[in-house]
Amino acid sequence: MKIASHFEKIERFDALRNRLDQFEDFEIWFWTTMNAGTNAVNAALHATGITEDGSWYPQQPGVYMVEGDQPDSFVAAFKPMGDVLHVGRPKIEKPIPEKVQKIADLMDVIEEWRDPCVRDGEPVTQEIVDKVDTAYHEVIALAREVATEAEGV
């Protein structure tokens, strides 16, 4: 996806996230948080030139959906690294700038709670919500900062 599209998607996820109750709706609140954060990671990676942006969409690591020959059609294609699906998937082999690494580290804080709380039913506490929420806001702010700095280069 393109950088601007990532930020538009973040806005949509954030609008939904803000309407949800962090406890009653934890699973969907968490997924909107994680998906918005992944879009922030991708925007920062594109802005720093680590990965390519474009009108293609990840399906599996290295496989992207691209526009087909027919209108409104898409086909699978191998492409250079574009959007990552999760931090570390696929693994990036290039040096990562400090701010982008900080974003990735913060996403690890968020994703730490996926399996225990979303998949395994661990009770959600205020401490967990606060950790996820704080990391999320830092991720989004840093991604915007990275993108703005890249525009000024």
Catalogue all structural domains in the chain, each as residue range(s) with its CATH number: 3-52+86-151 (1.20.120)
Mean local confidence (pLDDT), 31-55: 92
Q: For residue 74, what are the β-bridge partners?
A: 67
Q: Residues 52-106: pLDDT tens digits?
A: 887 777 777 778 788 888 888 888 887 766 778 777 766 888 889 999 999 999 9
Q: What is the largest CA-CA distance in the chain?
A: 50
Long-range contacts of 127-131 (CB under 8 A, 24+ apart): 129/22, 129/23, 129/26
Residue 1: predicted pLDDT: 81
Task: Please tell me the least confidently modeled range out of 2-6, 56-60, 147-151.
Answer: 56-60
pLDDT score at 152:
58
Q: Helix H segments across the chain?
A: 3-19, 26-47, 98-111, 126-151
Q: What is the pLDDT of residue 140?
A: 98
